[in-house]
Amino acid sequence: MNLKFELNDSIKARLKLREGEKIYYSIPVDIDDDGNWTDDSFLVVTTLRVFTFISGKETFYEIKELQKALAEAGVGGGILVLRKDGEDMLVAHYSSKHLSRYAYIARGINILISGRYEEVISTEYEKICPHCGRVIPGTKTCPKCSGNGGFFKILKKTVAPYRKDLVYISFLMVSVAVTTLLNPEVQKRLINNVLKINGSYKTALVYLALMFVLSVAIVVINILKSIATAKLGSKISADLRRDLFEKCQKLPLSFINERRPGELLNRITDDTRFVSEFCADVFCNLFAVFFIFVWDVIFMLVLDWKLALLTFSVVPFVTFFMFYLRKTISRVFRVQNKKNDDVASDLQDVISGMRIVKSYGKEEIEADRFKVLSGEFAEIQKRNERFWGMFDFVLSFCMGIGVVIVVYFGGRSVLDLKMSAGELYQFISYTLLLFQYVGWLGRVPRELSKLKSSLERIYDVLSQEAPEEDPALVQEVDIKGEIRFDHATFGYKSYQPVLEDINAVIKPGEMIGIVGASGTGKSTLINLLMRLYETDDGSILVDGVEMKNISRKSYHSQLGVVLQETFLFSGTITDNIRFSKPDASEAEIIRAAKLANAHTFISKLPDGYNTYVGEKGHSLSGGERQRIAIARAILTDPKILILDEATASLDTESEYMIQKALDRLTYNKTTFAIAHRLSTLKNADRIMVIDDHRIAEFGTHEELLAKKGIFYDLCMAQNLD
């Protein structure tokens, strides 16, 4: 994301920098003091000052006089606030377009305030292309502006491995073309040589046989072609899907979170499907259609160039008309689809909320509402069907006009004996072919650009550099378990920090209970410890080594995790326990299960440790799943343990069993445990209370109780249950 926009000349002229003062950031302010759009206003941050140039008005703040910069998000926009002498100053007002940009700027100013001179760089992508103003579909560069060269290179790269299939299919295509073009020729001869007053029955049979063979050939070749293209298509999409999936697994979670939900899923399913469809349908046909088209035109010109030119002159009108019709059709059907979605989602809403609807006795109101919606849909559908009914006729009429012209002028030539009846017939056949393929070719540019954006989106993921660890920089460590948070700051969205300035030192083997209201950042803290994300600012040190300098493999092999939502993969219980340590022996698995208090219930299952669980398998209770997760964590004998609400929403008995299992698990290991029920934290050495994105309280039970702060209140409230 661009944080350094080009300033216009008048601002450049007014910006008088002091000696050694450097411009760090310059970004637009798009709302002026009256709340109207403006396009000539800017905010400039230098190493010493923050300037604003808003509708000709210039203000500046000395960074050394500031205490804090804040980018506050509102509805549809936000404001930049600078705190000076304890007073909040409104500095700039901007629309949502610049929300993230200002969050980076605020972070940048805060770094300058703290006396450091690092420049903040944003790796986020722009949403709108700065050159052409088009939306960038989640890719790094704008597909339109990145240029055709790149696209064809990508296309070539995509289809290169399938060269053999493509050659085979192209060969079949040409065969289709040849047989298609040959058919009218044979028919012409049949008419000219046989269907005349003294034509012989025998020659007629020969021609008919020839036509029969040709027809059979067309069918056979088409079937072969369909099989081959379908095979190729599925091969390409399977390969692309696999590549994409592999890449997604390797990419950091932040890459996945930066994208809209479902977008990646779409790339894996829809975009790959489109590419395969394109390769199978368009790319392969393209060759054949061009071939037919060119020869079709040549044949027509040879047969009767005047008539051919006359026919061609109709083509632009017909194509234009067809194009227009198609556009209208796609528009009206889009409206219908949208209404259809409305009806479907409303129906789903009411049906899934049936208990509520019935218990409040609102059936009639809902029925009436649905009637209106459904009526609207029916109206649109009626209109569209009428339109659709006409479409085919209108289309054939258009083609018909071409044929009428040909028949009229050609017929006159036949009557004048300038042309044979067979030739006229052949000419008409070619005319029909021409119209058929003109329509098809008209679709190609559209399909090409659709393909282009699909390919761009796919290659945006594939070309991402997954953070490969440099073996020279990272080290293998034998973790003892000391964890130190050093000014750690992090947010999922650049403009919304979830954790701010976390500082704490945790001794090896200590158990830390983490409490706080929901949404304050507890789980985020744990995500950072699990290394799913990296801190935006500051760092986390393990045994004095910065986390990012420890090899991922070595870190994760010494980390155990039990989460609230226990996820069991489809597979057996053994598979699920073994997930953390694929080479664990049966004996090890049993030992882990015993320690997790899972052995007893597993032995009672008819299939024992081979019981199939997961989405389609044996359904285990919440407590049982939890204990399998604990066994999974025990198996690796982790040095750092993370428990996120591991005992929430379980019945008392299983909670007791799990608590026992957890006690064994956490013994002598650095443990972070999130819990709402404070009773589960009675073994914790210290409690960390997170509130408002920061550590609000940190200390032992007794210390925090004596403090009578948030923790005290929580304890008291829960004792009263």
Partner 1 sequence: MAEDTLNIYEKKAEEMTATNMITKEYRFSKTKGGFLSLEFEGSTYPRIRVVRLFPFSDENKYLSIREYGNGDKEIGIIEDLSLMSEDTQKLISEQLKLYYFTPVINKILSIKDEYGYAYFHVKTDKGECRFAINMGANAVTKLSDTRLIIKDVDENRFEIKDIDELTSKERRMLDLFL
* Residue count of the chain: 721
Instruction: List all residues 6 or more positions away from 210 whose beta carbon is below 8 Å from its beta carbon.
Output: 186
| Residue with smaller CB distance to partner 1, 12 or 338 | 338
As measured in angstroms, the least distance from the Cβ of 51 to partner 1 is: 17
Residue 77 φ/ψ, nearest 5 degrees = 170, -165
E strand intervals along 598-668:
612-613, 640-644
Could you give the maximum distance between any two Cα atoms of the chain, in Å? 120
DSSP at 136 = P
Query: Smallest distance, Å, CB 9 to partner 1?
Result: 23
How far apart CA 48 and CA 470 sit, in angstroms, is 37
Q: How many CB atoms lie under 10 A from the CB of residue 20?
A: 8
Least Cβ distance, residue 395 to partner 1 (angstroms): 23
Choice between 552 and 708, CB closer to partner 1: 708
Instruction: Tell me how far, at minimum, the Cβ of 96 lies from partner 1, in Å.
Output: 4
The secondary structure of 337-393, three-state, reads: HHHHHHHHHHHHHHHHCHHHHHHCCCHHHHHHHHHHHHHHHHHHHHHHHHHHHHHHH
What are the CB-based long-range contacts (under 8 Å, 24+) for 326-332?
328/387, 329/387, 329/388, 329/391, 332/380, 332/383, 332/384, 332/387
Q: Please state, as a whole number, how many other Cβ atoms lie within 10 Å of the Cβ of residue 419.
A: 20
**Binding interface with partner 1 (CB under 8 A):** 31, 35-38, 74-77, 79, 81, 84, 87-90, 93, 95-97, 99, 127-128, 133-135, 137, 260, 331, 334-335, 449-450, 453, 692, 712-713, 716-717, 719-720
What's at 598, amino acid-wise? A
Q: What is the DSSP letter of 582?
A: T
Q: Closer CB to partner 1, residue 74 or residue 161?
A: 74
| 159 neighbors 451 (Cβ within 8 angstroms) | no
CB of 337 to partner 1, least distance (A): 11
- Return the number of the residue (118 or 692) whose C-beta is nearest partner 1: 692
Cβ nearer to partner 1, comparing 125 with 245: 125
Residue type, 270: D
**Min. distance of Cβ 179 from partner 1 in angstroms?**
37
- Smallest separation, CB 330 to partner 1 (Å): 10
Tell me how far, at minimum, the Cβ of 33 lies from partner 1, in Å: 9
Q: Which CB atom, from 363 or from 379, has the smaller least distance to partner 1?
A: 379
Residue closer to partner 1, measured from CB, 379 or 586: 379
CB of 125 to partner 1, least distance (A): 12
**638 with 623: CB under 8 angstroms?**
no
Q: Of 108, 71, 110, 90, which Cα lies nearest the Cα of 32?
A: 90
Instruction: Return the number of the residue (31 or 181) whose C-beta is nearest partner 1.
Output: 31
DSSP state of 125: P
Closest CA to 567 of 514, 657, 515, 629: 629
Ramachandran angles phi, psi of 687, nearest 5°: -115, 135
Q: How far is the CB of 324 from partner 1 (least distance, A)?
A: 15
Q: 332 or 462, CB closer to partner 1?
A: 332
Nearest to 475 by CA among 548, 392, 563, 570: 548
Strand 559-562, strand 37-46: pairing: unpaired
185/691 with CB nearer partner 1: 691
Nearer to partner 1 among residue 134 and residue 443 (C-beta): 134
